[in-house]
Structure 1
Amino acid sequence: MVVRRFAALLSLVAALAATTARADTISLRADEWCPFNCAGTPAGYGVDVMVEIFAKAGHRVDYALAPWGRAQADCSTGRIAAVIGADPKENPDLVFPQEPIGRWDTTFVVRKGNAWRYDGPGSLPNVRLSGVIGYAYMDPVGAYVEANKGDRSRVDLIGSRHPLEQNLKKLLAGRIDATMDSRTVLDFKLGQMGLADQVEFAGSTRSDVVYIAFSPRHPKARDYARLLDDGIREMRASGRLRQILAGYGVQDWK
């Protein structure tokens, strides 16, 4: 009896050791882009989704904020495993799943009372515009930013862990005329900062999907992408995705 119990204990220890050996820690980075990924708790619905999916597979997600330009570079070179908020056109070298984690656009905000409105690229030289280093902006805005990023009187780009918060403060201080980000992110941040009554939305571009993407240097990148795809589909079918999104006031993008 003692021998059998000891053998069973050894089998259990071996099984636990094998599970531990298979468990991965996936480093996930981006600057604050709430509600996709946030600072502190809650971590953002995109992070919540990934953490839950990977935990079921026995893995741990190590999420932290980093300037977006650095996060992209580190993911490309393999220093980190994944980024959240990636666009295949902006980051063609990364490994993308089939399932996006939301939608994005380029939406403009101005101080309350400012009559300027976005009306195509010809309207952009009329304002001092702020943005974020390394961000993709929906064309034709992206092309304008790229052409004028060296002229801070037209486009003032910053890089930090909390870039939208800084740009909104610059806007209200009168240091810029307009700033831009995804409408979903602007809505969330303005509500969080209590600034919704101090700014006006000034137009938007078309929208597109956005992803969690993985490093091409990581040997399990394609496995992780498939795991994320399967997990999101399962969450959508079970209603769990809708439940997570509701906690952030966001609707399913499909």
Structure 2
Amino acid sequence: MVWTGTAKADVIRVRADDWCPYNCSEQKKGYGIEVAEEVFAAAGHRVQYQLAPWSRSLEDCLRGEIDAVIGAAPVDSPDLVFGAEPIGQWDSTFVIRKGQSWRYDGVASLERIKLAAIIGYIYMDPVGGYIEANKKNRARVDPVGGTQPLEQSLKMVAAGRIDAAVESRAVLEYKLRQMGLTGKLDYAGATQSGPIYIAFSPKHPKAREYADLLDQGVARLRASGRLRQILDRYGVRDWK
């Protein structure tokens, strides 16, 4: 079937920090970026993807200085333009050094550890509420920034500089394999999961059109089996 999109070819600027396997380096781009590129190329558009710190990416998207962010949830900002099709699932999974006994068992259990928290991230409740309430208490929450904040956080856990890091399970599995830390860090419990999206700037006049194109494209890739092929390269299961 031939795609029917806008006649004019657009460059859709997408930014986020490294959050593999959803979005990775600018060379191995991540399955979410690969999906977006295929969907928008079929509509005659081009995706321009670059890494940038998450907090800056989100602010730039809300101001209209870029067109989209990848890895967003509605909790990040209700002003972003979301489609109906998520690009994956996100949860709060904790990792600790191997041999440590701590396990996540509700918010009260977090008071016994020093937790890494990535600057600018909006964490799902109840973990998000705890981090917000303790963000100035360095004995409980250690802020980490930059374009590779998760890698830095995991190195700090492995070195014993902090007790735990928290991230999506899919991201942790990928990153631990990449860093050679599988078997050196342990999973220590998780919260309920929720959907994440490629979200578009509320300042862009075609934001809703782009979101609709992405919805149609993801559904089409899934139906054809092409989505499965892309996900297999990253060791990821379809979230639907």
Please say if 1:176 is aligned against 2:169. Answer: no
Structure 2 partner of 1:9 = none
Equivalent residue for 1:247, pick from 223, 233, 239: 233
CA separation in 1, counterparts of 2:6 and 2:132? 46
Structure 1 position 58, deviation (Å):
1.1
2:113 pairs, out of 123, 127, 133, with: 127
Match of 2:175 among 189, 196, 205: 189
Deviations 1:122-164 (A, max 9, x none): 1001000001011122211110000001111110111211111
Match of 2:93 among 98, 107, 110: 107
* Conserved? CA contact 1:36–1:46, under 8 Å: yes
**Whole-Å Cα distance in 2 between the matches of residues 57 and 90 of structure 1?**
28
| Displacement of 1:24 | 0.6
Question: Which one of 33, 40, 43 corresponds to residue 47 of structure 1?
Answer: 33
Q: Where does the alignment leave 5 or more consecutive residues of structure 1 unmatched? A: 1-18
1:169-212 alpha-carbon deviations (Å, 9 max, x no partner): 11112110111100000000000011011111010000000000
Partner Cα distance (1:93, 1:125) in 2: 33
Cα drift, residue 40 of structure 1:
3.6
Query: How many Å separate the matches in 2 of 1:138 and 1:96?
Result: 18
How many angstroms does 1:92 deviate by?
0.6
Q: Could you tell me how far 1:66 is from its partner in structure 2?
A: 0.6
* Displacement of 1:251: 1.0
- Pick one of 208, 227, 230 that aligns with 2:213: 227
Which secondary structure state, in structure 1, belongs to the residue aligned with residue 94 of structure 2? strand
Aligned partner letter, 2:197: Y
Which has the larger Rg? Answer: 1
AA aligned to 2:47 is: V
SS at match of 1:72: helix
Match of 1:156 in 2: 142
**What CA distance in whole angstroms lies between the structure 1 residues aligned with 2:75 and 2:165?**
22
Q: 1:213 to 1:20 in 2, by over 3 A?
A: closer
Runs of 4+ in 1 over 4 A off after TM superposition: none
CA contact (8 A) 2:86 2:196 kept: yes
Q: CA deviation at 1:20?
A: 11
Match of 1:87 among 66, 73, 79: 73
Please name the residue that 1:140 is paired with. 126
The share of aligned pairs that are identical, in percent, is 61
CA contact (8 A) 2:26 2:51 kept: no
Q: CA deviation at 1:43?
A: 0.5
Distance 1:20 1:82, change over 3 A: closer
- 8 Å Cα contact 2:26-2:50 kept in structure 1: no
Structure 1: which amino acid aligns with 2:46?
Answer: R
* Structure with the largest fraction of helix: 1
